Structure 1
Amino acid sequence: MFQHIRAVLFDLDGTLIDSAPDLGAAADKMRTDRGLPSLPLERYRPMAGAGARGMLGEAFGMSPEHPEFLVMREEFFVNYESRMTELTTIFDGVPEMVGRILGRELAWGVVTNKSARFTEPLTRAIPLFQTAGAVVSGDTTPHAKPHPAPLLEAAARLKLSPEQCIYVGDDERDIVAGLAAGMGTVAATYGYLGIKSDPSEWGAHATIKSPLELLQLLAST
């Protein structure tokens, strides 16, 4: 489907790694520290792609407009920072997918809205990411997704044009950013689809239900 591709870029949480258990635990600790009952992971998982906003929204019904949001967000960040890799796992099929991408002499990289405060230690701790040609965080450029700037930065680091890259993500903002950057886009429906998300409405060039399905789209590259 995708022609003349030289690199595959991925979102991180919900696309390459399942970080929902650690994100949820960081928010849930805030509840139990306040004497509130624990919530099951199933409550947090659909909101994991929204980061602190999603976790605090689920744990406390708190929006970013709440006067205490910034203080609560930093408490969440500290909790998460202390346990980022305790329960986080790589999605099934991702290591094989990355290995076969490399086997085709294609580059790969990560473009995430996670800030470098978390992205850098997390990717250093997981051997899979040692072969990534670029890792761009949410605060690497002045704009985060859905702005195309982080994706364009990743392409530049790989010394490729945007048209030579495709971007794979599990959130609508990933597809919006990829399209704005002029890249091929793939919606990963195995990730953290929010309650009201409908990937068929995102406008992606393709959709995959598992990581290994991506390889079929790259068959002719």
Structure 2
Amino acid sequence: MFEQVQAVLFDLDGTLIDSAPDLGAAADQMRTDRGLPSLPLDVYRPMAGAGARGMLGIAFGITPEHADFPSLREEFFRNYERRMTASTRAFGGVAELVEALVGRGLAWGVVTNKSMRFTAPLTAAMPLFATARAIVGGDSTPHSKPHPAPLFEAARQLGLPPQRCVYVGDDERDIVAGRAAGMPTVAATYGYLGGTPEVAAWGADTHIASPLQLLALLK
């Protein structure tokens, strides 16, 4: 299944980078600004991959249908924008994985639901992404994951058929999108998992418990 792979596409938050500290801090500041007690990072972490929806859900128990959600979301965005790379780091082994992929002549890229408002400056600020040949954000196409459109766009940027790309992600929607795009899929069980850790039910072709385990699949 992985023998014909020529490129690896990754989700961003929870797969390549641990952005939970900055996402959680942006939401938690909204609580403390309102005189509410701070919540520990461990409470925010599982939903970090869901962005504003996940963070505001934890911080205030609201959903996107709430009347105040748009204004709270923009406040969250401003807080996050000010600290996007303050505590965000690549997961252990990711830099070595990327170096190995490039050394093997494999292209790689990012497909995230994070909007390009944040994806572009964040990836530009981190040396890790200097060799990425495709960066696709949540608003780069008319649809975000679990729709396959962003993955098709990444394959287009790489100049490859989708079936020659493998997609790695830590959320069920990543696997749904990858399968819909006709790509082999890998679930990253070291990530955030969207608060639903029943990874076996996602339908991924396989899973990895650490980034460097991917290399063994691509031999």
- Residue equivalent to 2:12: 12
Task: State TM-score, norm by structure 1.
Answer: 0.98
CA distance in 2, matches of 1:83, 1:47: 18
Q: CA deviation at 1:3?
A: 1.4
SS of match in other structure, 1:8: strand
Cα deviation for residue 4 of structure 1 reads 1.0
**Counterpart for residue 29 of structure 1:** 29
| Structure 2 residue ranges without an equivalent (≥5) | none
Instruction: Tell me which residue corresponds to 2:134.
Output: 134
> Which amino acid in 2 is paired with 1:55?
M
Matched-pair contact (CA < 8 Å) for 2:17–2:88: yes
Please list, as runs of the form range in 1=range in 2, the aligned pairs for 1:1-221 lying within 5 A after superposition.
1-219=1-219
- Which whole-Å CA distance do the structure 2 matches of 1:155 and 1:67 have between them? 38
Contact 2:145–2:174, Cα closer than 8 Å, also in 1:
yes
Between the aligned partners of 1:218 and 1:209, the Cα distance in structure 2 is: 15
Deviations 1:141-194 (A, max 9, x none): 000000000000000000000011000000000000000000010000000023
Cα pair 2:172 2:193 within 8 Å, conserved: no
Q: Which amino acid aligns with 2:82?
A: S
Number of residues of Structure 1 aligned to a counterpart in Structure 2: 219
Deviates more, 1:33-42 or 1:186-195: 186-195
Residue 38 (structure 1) shift: 0.5
- Aligned-pair identity (%): 71
Structure 2 residue identity aligned to 1:151: L
Give the distance between the partners of 1:190 and 1:124, measured in 2 at CA: 24
Return the offset for 1:196. Answer: 3.0
Deviation at 1:211, TM superposition (A): 0.1
SS at match of 1:64: coil
The one-character-per-residue Cα deviations of 1:39-60 (angstroms, maximum 9, x if unpaired) are 0001100110111001000000
Amino acid at match of 2:130: Q
Q: Do the aligned partners of 2:170 and 2:194 also contact (CA within 8 Å) in 1?
A: no
Distance in 2 (CA, whole Å) between partners of 1:70 and 1:83 is: 20
Gaps of 5+ in 1: none
**Separation in 1 of the partners of 2:198 and 2:171?**
10
Q: Which amino acid aligns with 1:118?
A: F
Q: CA deviation at 1:197?
A: 2.9
Cα distance between partner residues in 2 of 1:144 and 1:194: 16
Equivalent position SS for 1:194 = helix
Give the distance between the partners of 1:95 and 1:7, measured in 2 at CA: 16
Where 1:110 maps in the other structure, the secondary structure is strand
In 1, Cα distance between the equivalents of 2:141 and 2:63? 25
Could you tell me how far apart the structure 2 residues matched to 1:26 and 1:195 are? Answer: 19
The whole-number CA distance in structure 1 between the counterparts of 2:45 and 2:129 is 23
Distance of 1:141 and 1:5 partners within structure 2: 24
